[in-house]
Amino acid sequence: MARGGEFAEVFVEDRTTSSAMLDQRRVEQLSSGHERGAGIRVVVGETTGFAHTADLSESGLLAAARAAAAVAREGGGGVREIALGPLRDHQSLATIQPDEVDKRRKIELMNHADDAARSEGSSITQVQVALGDSARHFLVANSDGLFSGDHQVRTRFNVSCIATGDAGMQTGYRPIAGTRGFELLSPEAVSEAARGAARQAITKLDARPAPSGDLPVVLAGGSGGILFHEACGHGLEADAILKQASVYAGKVGQLVASPLVTLVDDGTVEGEWGYLAIDDEGRPGARNVLIENGVLTDYMWDYLRSRKEGRLSSGNGRRQSYQHLPMVRMTNTYLLEGDSDADEIVAQTPYGVYVAQLGGGQVNTATGDFVFGMTAAFMIEDGKITAPLRDCNLIGNGPDVLQRVDAVASDFSMTPGTCGKNGQSVPVGTGQATMRLTGVTIGGAAA
């Protein structure tokens, strides 16, 4: 391009969503939505201009393009022909598309979950079931000639339960979510999730305040991937790295974690919540090893930042919708299995905390300090799982906690989640097998 570094991109998206809720056996808030629009960005030097519009007519798109290009205030001008390659469109994995599903079937499943939850005990006083799906088709074309598209269908089913006892109320929650169609949900799957949510709430009725201070922590398989998402995932995103706003900047090739840690971000795990055939900049989803046997191997990249560095995007350029600029985001982030036995790990922990479910977290990438919340946890005493604990956050420093992984089992599983960054939410997966940290600060209220 004439002045080096100029780049333009058009992203057109059409999204249909539907949602419904069952609350106290009442079907309510059945909603259907549709949006369609284009986001246009123009990059000149270090500056990105972005505008979006719901007006897909030629005049609407031109107006947005002019607004996006307004940052290119000096020079420019002239017209350049761009030869787009043939469209490479991708089909969704869904075998049952959302719009083919009879709403009665959705309601049946929600009622089924409600029944299953209440069958766990009369202390269950509140059950809320939410079902949502979305079908998203986007096309992206850029001045490098890229022209790609993807159909992404996602389905999500959440069960939230409240149990009431002498000491007040407690909550239980289980999600089912995948980059799949309605085939993701079966009566068996929703029933299992509902029972799990109910049991979690009932168990916590007897919970005591969590301890306060540094203790060994065993994270159950599937529950603890969020730890890596927060402890190092965000800090390995190239935007934070290039701004020297991450504790992991400049550390490729260095030992940053216990040798038991091999961490992968992988957009190709079919059907997982963070799966994508291509990212929102048109690059194929990929399996990227971030940390191998404790050594930092690479960061995650979006198209623009990798282009500047003269390398390939790792397929991590994502955006919430056409109304948002893409940035570096995780997909499915997981720790590879180890060879310990999950039960043995617990048995070999004299005193500590066993976390059966985590509920989210947050990190300050510049300092590395991060928290993650436990929503189902127990004491470990003499190598046995004992008293349930009330909800609390755990806090640690990423580079420090990564060194403290001292056992990883082989019972791998994944959990869906929603990742928020700079005001944008995207679906992500996290995963690990049962593992132990030699010490983390438990933020409980017990003295």
Q: At what angle do helices 103-118 and 187-204 cross, to 10 degrees?
A: 30
- DSSP codes, 179-227: SS-GGG--HHHHHHHHHHHHHHHHHHTT-BPPPEEEEEEEEPTTT-HHH
**Three-class SS of residue 236?**
helix
What is the nearest approach in angstroms of another protein to the Cβ of residue 83? Answer: 28
- The residues with which 231 forms a beta bridge, in sequence order, are none
In terms of CB distance, is 348 or 364 closer to another protein? 364
In terms of CB distance, is 105 or 311 closer to another protein? 105
Q: Which token pair is 150?
A: 């993807």
In terms of CB distance, is 348 or 397 closer to another protein? 397
Helix (H) or strand (E) holding 323: none
What is the nearest approach in angstroms of another protein to the Cβ of residue 329? Answer: 16
In terms of CB distance, is 323 or 403 closer to another protein? 323
Beta strand 124-142 pairing with 147-165 = antiparallel
What is the nearest approach in angstroms of another protein to the Cβ of residue 340? Answer: 27
DSSP type of residue 229: I
In terms of CB distance, is 42 or 260 closer to another protein? 42
In terms of CB distance, is 220 or 269 closer to another protein? 220
What is the nearest approach in angstroms of another protein to the Cβ of residue 260? Answer: 23
What is the nearest approach in angstroms of another protein to the Cβ of residue 347? Answer: 27
Neighbour-count burial for 1-33, b at 16+ CB within 10 Å, e otherwise? eeeeebbbbbbbbbbbbbbbbbbeeeeeeeeee
Q: Which of 182, 126, 120 is nearest to 157 (CA)?
A: 182
State the Cα–Cα distance between residues 68 and 52, nearest whole angstrom.
8
Which residue type does 59 have? S
What is the nearest approach in angstroms of another protein to the Cβ of residue 286? Answer: 25
What is the nearest approach in angstroms of another protein to the Cβ of residue 262? Answer: 26
State the Cα–Cα distance between residues 410 and 400, nearest whole angstrom.
24
Q: Which token pair is 210?
A: 């969590």
DSSP type of residue 176: E
Residue matched to tokens 């960005």: 41
DSSP type of residue 73: -
What is the nearest approach in angstroms of another protein to the Cβ of residue 218? Answer: 19
What is the nearest approach in angstroms of another protein to the Cβ of residue 81? Answer: 26
What is the nearest approach in angstroms of another protein to the Cβ of residue 116? Answer: 19
Contact yes or no for 303/325 (Cβ under 8 A):
no
What is the nearest approach in angstroms of another protein to the Cβ of residue 268? Answer: 28
In terms of CB distance, is 314 or 365 closer to another protein? 365
In terms of CB distance, is 243 or 384 closer to another protein? 243
In terms of CB distance, is 225 or 338 closer to another protein? 225
**Three-class SS of residue 118?**
helix
Which residue type does 147 have? F
In terms of CB distance, is 103 or 311 closer to another protein? 103
In terms of CB distance, is 403 or 441 closer to another protein? 441
Q: What are the residues whose beta carbons fall under 8 Å from the beta carbon of 125, sequence distance 6 or more?
A: 162, 163, 164, 169
Q: CA 382, 385, 389, 392: dihedral to nearest 10 degrees? A: 90
Q: How far is CA 324 from the centre of its chain?
A: 17
